[in-house]
Structure 1
Amino acid sequence: MITKESVFETLKNVVDPELGMDIVTLGMVREIAIVDENVRVVIALTSDKCPLGERIKGDAERLLKGLAGVRGVTIDLSVMTEDERNRLLQILKEKKQPSQLPEKLPKKSIKRLIAILSGKGGVGKSSVTAMLAVGLAEKNFKVGILDADITGPSIPKIFGVIEAPFVLEGKIIPPQSKKGIKIMSMNLLIPEEDAPVIWRGPLVSSAIKQFYMDVDWGELDYLLIDLPPGTSDAQLTVLQMIPVDGIIVVTSPQELAGMIVGKAVQMSKMLAVPILGVVENMSYVKCPNCNYNISLFGTSNGLTLAQKINTKFLGSLPIDPLLSKACDEGKIEGYDIKYFKPVVELLIK
């Protein structure tokens, strides 16, 4: 006789290749129904674009067909709810082995650590990081920015900060912007701001770790970590070693940008770091004559992307020449962040 217990036991042999655990333990088996000798199973995937969905389905079907007494098998794929995803993230955190991931560094006196990430370059991730810092500072939060883009740092330029950090009692004291935002970046340590930093991965990872551990950040409400684009050593160092509370994903309306963001999203899932929300930058430009929104890079798809990965859509931002000018002149704190204020409000809720 076929029982739900025997079906569950069989499905424990179906392993999610990305997460390295079986689908029962991960809570992906949402429903089991047995009618006569036919078995129907509903498997909830983390995303409807999961590239391994068909493989998981095939493995489950093959194993269940080999179960004694089973005549027919139907596997339906669904998508996890936000609650189911949160439970999965908690399972991954509890189950991870010290041998698989390095030990997290201490959180220090920082209430929230948020990494800002993009799948590809050129989507305005650093300007989003800067506007988020300014928005939080304007709400009287104590804010710092760790510029983890070691080989392509831009945060000091955006804020107009040129003062080098100094060492006091064995700790690095970071310079501050006009509004008191603490900033640590490789560009503050090199002799010329256009001097290249030609380092391999291990050196980049070591520098990021030092920027976090050896800098005296003091008491902060928010430490924002501006990551380089992609999914390389720098991102792994931050998400594996620094106790990040969550990720903000920055994208643009281009379909290519959305596709590449998917890689970054999958990395965050594998490392059990929650995604706090999606910001779509360069979504439109306002006509200076009629105020009409012109979609230069195609139809906005930020909301759709956020729904696919079960997270908040924090908002769409326009292309604004005044923002470019403010960043080039190091005057981001004087820029009117009216378009960005709703993003800040949604984040701190």
Structure 2
Amino acid sequence: MRDKIMSTLSAVAMPDGGDLASRDMIRALNVDGGHVSFVIEAATPEAAAGMEPQRRAAEAAVAALDGVEKVSAILTAHGVAPAKPAQAAPNLKIGGHPKPQAGPMAVPGVKNIIAIASGKGGVGKSTVSSNLAVALAKAGRKVGLLDADILGPSQPRMMGTNARPSSPDGEKLVPVEAHGVKLMSIGLMLKSDRESVVWRGPMLMGALQQMLFQVDWAPLDVLIIDLPPGTGDVQLTLAQKSQLTGAVVVSTPQDVALLDARKAIDMFGKVNVPILGLIENMSNYICPSCGHEAHLFGHGGVKAEAKELGAPFLGELPLSLDVRLAGDAGSPAVLDGGAIAEAYGQVAQSLMERGLA
């Protein structure tokens, strides 16, 4: 249905050439049964002011499709145009060599910064980051989520938004909000989720520094940072440039994942970042048909590792099809309640009880 809708919107022409689809003006397209909603994003408020005919045409075209009962199209603009665009543009270009700093700095208005890390990919670190952020927000905390996996940003999809950050003053970016969480990701600035970021280390380091200090995060109780896998430039930049409260290490139970998790823990020790705790993800699987519990990747390895390190064990998280479907749909699984929400709630509660969030 989404492809059919986009094809239909490609027939809505713009006065200055192209159409709504080819000009990449459709945002937040959502299909819920027979109800369709989307946002038409113009480049400037002035352009949006003259696009009411296109908005009405888009609503009418989609409403004519089979199976569509209701259509809601909202017209918006990318942001308020800076009074002096020639001066603002260089400040807002993301990427480039990092600026000199005397040492780690606090992010203004942010009480705690927690890095979610792993030594390897594929252990569900980004899923944990988004669900933990939403769990903390549901518990009443003011939460931000920074997607620091600049080469492979996934949080816009997992949090269900592709809105672009605005910059009313031309100096700082305003993060978008989703599910009660302030979100910033390089993925929100790309033309599409298929566009790659091909940068060397200094560009990554500069971009991370900007997304920490050139974003209007305040006020936050906690900023969750979803790190890329490994122990490279982004991890080191974060430790050297920001005053981290600490890191939470995510691993699956099997030995090969724990080997890399130990490397991440060793790296944080070398840069004097405390380990706030370990999480065992994909710890168990409950068959939806018969209720049998299986441990596909083993069980208890992360808890044993935490005990050996003398670090807190924050909990076990299940392997669940619902978690994957919710992430793909942009609606973190903790929003639906049940055992998954309870598991993440316990991790969130542990951090709050220790004053870390």
**What TM-score do you get using the length of structure 1 for normalisation?**
0.69
Deviation at 1:180, TM superposition (A): 2.3
Please list every run of 5 or more consecutive structure 1 residues that lacks an aligned counterpart in the other structure: 1-100
1:66 aligns with none
Deviation per CA, 1:194-219: give whole Å up to 9, x if none.
21111111100100000001000120
Work out whether 1:175 is the aligned partner of 2:176.
Answer: yes
Tell me how far 1:239 sits from its aligned partner: 1.3
CA contact (8 A) 1:151 1:197 kept: yes
> What is the number of residues matched between the two proteins?
248
DSSP-derived class of the 1:223 partner: strand
Q: Percent identity, please.
A: 40
Deviations 1:115-160 (A, max 9, x none): 0000000000011011111110011110001110000011110010
- Indicate if the aligned counterparts of 1:102 and 1:240 stay in contact, CA closer than 8 A: no
Q: Distance in 2 between matches of 1:152 and 1:249?
A: 19
CA distance in 2, matches of 1:233, 1:260: 17
Matches within 5 A, 1:49-198: 103-169=103-169, 170-177=171-178, 179-198=179-198
Q: Distance in 1 between matches of 2:156 and 2:336?
A: 16
Return the match for 2:349 from 338, 345, 348: 345
Query: C-alpha separation between the residues in 2 aligned to 1:106 and 1:279?
Result: 26
Alignment partners' CA distance in 2, 1:116 and 1:210: 19
Q: What SS is found at the alignment partner of 2:203? A: helix
* Shift of residue 348, structure 1, vs aligned partner: 1.3
TM-superposed CA distance for 1:102, in Å, is 5.5
Q: Deviations over 1:176-202 (max 9, x none)?
A: 00x321100010001011211111111
CA RMSD of aligned residues (A): 1.3
SS at match of 1:212: helix
Aligned 8 A contact 1:326 1:335 in 2: no
Superposed displacement of residue 341, structure 1 = 1.3
Equivalents in 1 of 2:240, 2:263: separation in Å?
16
Using the alignment, how far apart are the partners of 1:322 and 1:287 within structure 2?
12
Question: Offset of 1:288 from its aligned partner?
Answer: 1.9
Give, in whole Å, the separation in 1 of the partners of 2:198 and 2:219.
33
Match of 2:282, SS state, is strand
In structure 2, C-alpha distance between the alignment counterparts of 1:226 and 1:132, rounded to whole Å: 11
Q: What amino acid is the match of 2:218?
A: G
- Relative to 1, partners in 2 of residues 1:316 and 1:102: Cα closer, same or farther, differing over 3 Å? farther
Q: Please name the residue that 2:293 is paired with.
A: 293
Task: List per-residue Cα deviations over 1:28-83 (Å, max 9, x = no partner).
Answer: xxxxxxxxxxxxxxxxxxxxxxxxxxxxxxxxxxxxxxxxxxxxxxxxxxxxxxxx
SS of corresponding position for 1:114: strand
1:13 corresponds to: none
What does residue 46 of structure 1 align with?
none
Equivalent-residue separation in structure 2 for 1:157 and 1:340 (angstroms): 20
Q: What is the CA-CA distance between 1:103 and the residue it aligns to?
A: 0.5
Match of 2:264 in 1: 264
SS of structure 2 residue aligned to 1:315? strand
| C-alpha distance in 1 between matches for 2:102 and 2:234 | 14
Flag structure 2 segments of 5+ consecutive residues without an equivalent. Answer: 1-100
The 5 Å alignment of 1:198-347 reads: 198-332=198-332, 334-336=335-337, 337-347=341-351
TM-score if structure 2 supplies the norm length? 0.68
Shift of 1:292: 2.7
Q: Could you tell me how far apart the structure 2 residues matched to 1:102 and 1:301 are?
A: 40
